[in-house]
Structure 1
């Protein structure tokens, strides 16, 4: 039992209450099928945000990358995430893909 008086019942309450709280503060709930697990982003949201808030820069980027500018942009955004920090342990470079069953896989494996 945690210091918060936890247990599974408390964890379930938090899991249910957190999305409700975020939605009440203006967050949107995404659809699972639109989430790109390989890069851990909602690509449509990222591209929409950049195009809406930085149109002039986006147009310049399109000129520099006329073939598949969206894909090229996503690659530019995610490439630093794929570089390994030699000072971090392999556990720090992994993230859980199925936490409910306790299985974690390295990020590289997810891109395959």
Structure 2
């Protein structure tokens, strides 16, 4: 019986869907100052500490994927992507985004 229950749990765990990629553009709206939060006065502005940006996006959109630092200006230490939204960070702050040919702040080429 325990083996059957374990198999059922594993089967159900495999049925959890990843967040739809179009949620990036409907929940977090990139603009000149960072990211607006759809339907809310809250924002994720440039200058915020990386943990204050990565945690809420990951909570809503799932874990990000790391993007190589190729073509990044000096000081950029991390690039993370949720779908086609790519955010850039220095050690201390969120400094830029790019998505679908648009961009703001400091980004990598």
Q: TM-score, normalised by structure 2?
A: 0.26
- Where is the helix percentage greater, Structure 1 or Structure 2? 1
- Say which one has the larger Rg: 1
TM-score by length of 1: 0.25
